[in-house]
C-alpha cells in the first residue's frame, strides 16, 4: 500500500494504489462495509477506475480494479462493475471538476435521512458542510443512467449529498480530501446524536463562527494529508493495509 496522496497527473498505477488505500481505510472506519465503492477518473480520459461488484472491499488490490467508461461499460479488467456504477458515472458526466467519488453506507449520518431533523454543523470541521447535505429522495439502488443523473442533480456543486435510507455520496479532486470529508461527515453526525442524548438546546456553529473557522482552516492545508497518513499507520497496525 502507499501513503501517496492523489494529485493531478498521477499515473493509472498510482491511482490504483491510492484508490485501494482509500477503500481499505474507509472499511477500517466503517464508512464502507461489504458494499459501497470508491472510484477515480483516469486523467486525460473518459474512463474511470472502480471496484468489481463482488470483491471484498477489505481485501481489494490494485489489480482487482476495473476500468469503465462514462456509460458504465466495462473497458478493461476481469469481473462485473459495481451495481451502482451509475452513481459515479452520473457525477463524472455532470462535474468535470470531480476526479474521485465515494458512495458509502455510514450508519450515523444516514440516520439523518430518516427524520425531519437535519444534520447541523456541530464540530469545527463541519464548516465545509455548514448548510447541511441535500437528501436524494430515491430509496432504490441507483442503477440506471437516469437515476445517476438525478443523483448528480441533487449533489449539484456541493462536495457531498445523502441518499434517503441508503448512504452518502462524497466527491472531490484528491483522495486525501475525499477520505477526510467522509470521516468528518460521520463524526459530525455522531457528535450531533450524542448532543441530542444529552438533552437541552443544541448549539451548532453560528454563521460568524463558521466564517471564523473557515478563515482559520484556510491556513491549515496540511490537515487532509495529516489525517491520511495517521489513518494509514493505524490501519496498517490493525492489519487493514
Q: What are the residue boundaries of the structural domains of the chain, listed by start?
A: 12-236
Give the CATH number of domain 12-236: 3.40.225.10
Q: How far, rounded to the nearest angstrom, does the alpha carbon of residue 231 sit from its chain's CA centroid?
A: 16
- Under 8 Å CB-to-CB from 72, ≥6 apart: which residues? 81, 85, 86, 89, 145
Could you please report the per-residue DSSP string of 28-58?
Answer: HTTSS-SS-EEEEEPTTSSEEEE-BSSS-TT
The whole-chain average pLDDT of the chain stands at: 93
Q: Is the pLDDT of residue 200 over 60?
A: yes
CB 63 within 8 A of CB 124: no
Q: What average pLDDT does range 186-209 have in this prediction?
A: 95
Torsion of CA 192, 155, 138, 52, to 10 degrees: -100
Q: Is the pLDDT of residue 5 over 60?
A: no
List 90's β-bridge partners, or say none.
none
Q: Is the pLDDT of residue 8 over 70?
A: no
CB 161 within 8 A of CB 185: no
Q: Is the pLDDT of residue 4 over 50?
A: no
Indicate the pTM of the whole model.
0.93
Q: Of 123-132, 192-201, 210-219, give the lowest mean pLDDT range.
A: 210-219
Cα–Cα separations (whole angstroms), residue 127 to 11, 71, 97, 112: 33, 34, 21, 18
Give CA angle at 54 (165, 172), nearest 5°.
60
Amino acid at each position: 500500500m502507499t501513503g501517496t496522496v492523489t494529485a493531478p497527473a498521477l499515473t493509472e498505477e498510482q491511482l490504483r494504489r491510492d484508490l485501494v488505500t482509500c477503500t481499505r481505510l474507509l472499511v477500517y472506519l466503517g464508512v464502507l462495509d461489504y458494499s459501497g465503492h470508491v472510484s477515480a477518473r483516469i486523467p486525460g480520459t473518459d474512463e474511470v477506475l472502480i471496484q468489481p461488484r463482488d470483491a471484498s472491499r477489505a481485501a481489494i488490490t490494485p489489480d482487482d480494479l476495473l476500468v469503465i467508461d462514462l456509460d458504465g461499460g466495462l473497458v478493461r479488467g476481469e469481473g462485473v462493475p459495481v451495481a451502482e456504477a451509475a452513481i459515479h458515472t452520473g457525477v463524472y458526466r455532470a462535474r468535470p471538476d470531480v476526479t474521485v467519488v465515494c458512495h458509502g453506507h455510514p450508519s450515523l449520518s444516514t440516520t439523518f435521512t430518516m427524520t425531519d431533523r437535519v444534520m447541523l454543523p456541530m464540530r469545527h470541521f463541519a464548516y465545509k458542510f455548514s448548510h447541511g447535505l441535500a437528501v436524494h429522495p430515491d430509496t432504490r439502488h441507483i442503477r440506471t443512467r437516469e437515476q445517476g443523473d438525478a443523483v448528480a442533480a441533487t449533489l449539484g456543486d456541493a462536495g457531498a449529498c445523502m441518499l434517503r435510507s441508503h448512504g452518502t455520496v462524497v466527491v472531490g479532486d484528491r483522495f486525501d480530501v475525499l477520505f477526510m470529508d467522509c470521516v468528518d461527515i460521520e463524526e459530525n453526525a455522531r457528535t450531533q446524536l450524542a448532543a441530542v442524548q444529552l438533552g437541552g438546546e443544541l448549539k451548532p456553529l453560528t454563521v460568524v463562527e463558521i466564517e471564523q473557522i473557515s478563515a482559520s482552516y484556510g491556513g491549515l492545508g496540511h490537515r487532509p494529508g495529516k489525517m491520511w497518513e495517521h489513518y494509514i499507520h493505524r490501519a496498517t497496525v490493525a492489519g487493514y493495509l
